[in-house]
Amino acid sequence: MFENLLSLIQQNAGDAIVNNPAIPNEHNNTAISMASGSIIDGLKGVISNGNVSDIMQLFSQGSNAGNSAITQNIQSGFIENLVGNLGIDKSQAGNIAASLIPTVINQFVHKTNDPNDSSFNLQDILGNLTKGAGNLDVSNLLNQFSGNSNSTQTGGLMDNIKGLFN
């Protein structure tokens, strides 16, 4: 999943990063990695705060996902990384983040929801984001969100994610 996300960012990094004079060419790969890290950290942060439902809502928004609160928080993290690590002016960093992150999030959500595109799978995404978080049954979690009551696991949704990041 992480490689596919990095590839998606690279495909969209042209004007925002690669052709941007605010980012020296020798820092292009670093900036692309920072964008990927910001997205992953932003999604992990949402999950670690117990807001898995927000992640599920993000992936159900379709083309509006780029305007979500999660996307805005990811942009903020990316801006901080660009300013703090590459010394880019905050205004320029804001423009870079605004031109890249919503586009990538929209495509990320679209590809995840496209049954003909196997590059992203919501179960794999949640599994990777919660890796090392204990015995989280991601398929059971997805079933609870989708309304499937055929779960063999007892307890509610919050019981299943409680304590993930202790």
Write out pLDDT tens, residues 44-53.
999 888 888 8
- The residue behind tokens 């993930």 is 164
Whole-structure pTM over 0.85, yes or no? Answer: no
pLDDT, one tens digit per residue, over 7-39 is 999 999 999 999 999 999 999 999 999 999 999
Give the range among 37-41, 94-98, 138-142 with minimum mean pLDDT.
138-142
Are 98 and 66 contacting, i.e. CB atoms less than 8 angstroms apart?
A: no
The yes-or-no verdict on residue 136 having pLDDT over 70 is: no
Question: At a CB cut-off of 8 Å and minimum separation 6, what does 87 contact?
Answer: none
Q: Where are the domains of the chain?
A: 2-121
pLDDT, one tens digit per residue, over 75-87 is 999 999 999 999 9
The yes-or-no verdict on residue 145 having pLDDT over 70 is: no
Q: Give pLDDT, residue 64.
A: 87
For residue 147, the one-letter residue type is G
Supply 123's token pair. Answer: 């179960």
